[in-house]
Amino acid sequence: MTAPSSLPADFNEFIGNTSVVESLRTAIAAGHLPHSIILSGPAGAGKYTLALLLTMAIQCERQPRDLWSNGQTLAGFCGHCANCTRIASAANLENQVAAAVAAREELRETDKKDTRVLIQPHPDVLILPPDPPQLLIKLGQVRTLIQRAHYLPAEAPRRIFILTSASMMKEAANSLLKILEEPPPTVHIFILAENPGELLPTIRSRCASVRLGALPVEEIEGLLITRRPGVPPAQRALIARLSQGAAGRALAFDLETYTAARADALIFLRNAAASSRLFGSSSGLQAAVKDHRREGASAPGRSQADAAAESEPDHTALFKMTETYRAGAEGQQKTAALLRALSLLLEDLLLLDAGTPELLRNTDLRPELERLAAALPFAWIERASHALDQVHSGLRRNLLRSLSLDAFAAQLATSASA
Ligand SMILES: [Zn+2]
């Protein structure tokens, strides 16, 4: 079994949040690491990577220590023993989840239903990712955790469980709460959360909370210079801002895909701005949604007229764009990228409204963003952000993708003219 490990070779290679990492290493060395920890931070901040490094430090056969002159002892890991290498084999979470899901697909229908996606790189380490397609942690997964937590570790000092998301089914959360109330002494549970507010307050109160903060733009730029030297300076500056302080996101940032998604997101905003100027009180875009549904995709006469008048909302462009978003895994990814881009653009519009243009992320679009900010009222941008949240939760519930995009377009139009 080979594992293309992208894990840092030691804690010093983990980027950012130095003092947080040091305090966790000190706690491990002293044997005081809390049994349940919520590790929170934005996507790409390194939550999963850090959870694996801490797991290696707890389970390593050699238990190396860094001794500082001030008397502080920090736990490390060797990276070569049987425990370290097995844990490191789970470094690529996406591949591991894809393999587990594919294995489940091979099962008979009756078995499929009862099989939960779990990743076990080591007999004493169990990773619980959100179970597709709903992408929530399910009761069956937490039941397995509880069952195994009550056995003593077999080949390492502790039993470790990593929940890679804070989104769980209600029954799963209630069940998890029970083990958090009285965790067995040999168990550590890490819950990775982009938004800890998603967790029950009773779960939060029983866990230690550790937050990985966003890194400053300059630090991310410096990282890009050393790790992605091929990226031209202008693109580097843009990526550093768009990755929102998350080192992992910056290193993996695909500017071309983002720019394509952003071009589509801008169609939404241009339409809304045009609607807002044209229709003081009516919901122009909503009416167009109905027209479009009646007439089908081709209405050449009308669309040319629309496109000709620059200040009018170009519904044709909007629908041509939403129709390129197909159902299925690929469509979901494309939709997710569109929504991320849209949410960054809306945040930029809010920053312009707030008089803090120096914080803009899409710095290359500043003139157009300023025009949009002038055309769209502050209250509209806030409502659009709210509507965007709803589309997000619709996606999570696996609703028909095109349905939620159309509904979102209609909602934007209604609120633009409200
Ligand atoms: Zn080791």
For residue 227, how far is its CA from the centre of ligand 1 (angstroms)?
26
Q: Which residue has the tokens 């899409």?
A: 362
Average pLDDT over residues 170-177: 96
Whether residue 133 is preceded by a cis peptide bond, meaning omega within 30 degrees of 0, is: yes
CA neighbor of 272 nearest in space, from 349, 184, 334: 349
110 pLDDT higher than 50: yes
Q: How far is the CA of 103 from the centre of ligand 1 (A)?
A: 29
pLDDT classification of 315: cutoffs 50, 70, 90? confident
Residue of higher predicted confidence among 256 and 407? 256
CA–centroid distance, 49 to ligand 1, in Å, is: 16
pTM of the model: 0.76
* 150-166 tens-digit pLDDT: 999 999 999 999 999 99
Residue 242 phi/psi, 5° resolution?
Answer: -70, -25
Task: Tell me, in angstroms, the distance from the centre of ligand 1 to residue 84's CA.
Answer: 4
Res. 332 pLDDT band, cuts 50 70 90: confident
- Ligand 1 center–CA 200 separation, angstroms: 35
Please tell me the distance between residue 220's alpha carbon and the centre of ligand 1 in angstroms: 30
73 Cα: distance to centroid of ligand 1 (angstroms) = 17
- Rounded Cα distance between 212 and 194, Å, is 10
Name every residue whose Cβ is closer than 8 Å to that of residue 308 and which is 6 or more positions away in sequence: none
5 — pLDDT class (breaks 50, 70, 90): very low
Would you list the DSSP string of 109-155? HHHHHHPPP-EEEETTEEEEPPBTTTTBB-HHHHHHHHHHHTSPPSS
Regarding predicted confidence, which is higher, 391 or 76? 76
**pLDDT tens, 345-387?**
999 999 999 999 999 999 999 999 999 999 998 888 888 888 8
Sign for the pseudo-dihedral over CA of 378, 388, 310, 286: negative
Helices 401-417 + 378-396 axis angle, to 10: 160
Q: What confidence score (pLDDT) does residue 290 get? A: 38
Question: 38 near 206, Cβ under 8 Å?
Answer: no
Q: How far is the CA of 10 from the centre of ligand 1 (A)?
A: 11
Q: Round the average pLDDT of the chain to a whole number and report it.
A: 85
Mean pLDDT in residue range 3-8: 61
Give the span between the Cα atoms of 243 and 215, in whole angstroms. 10
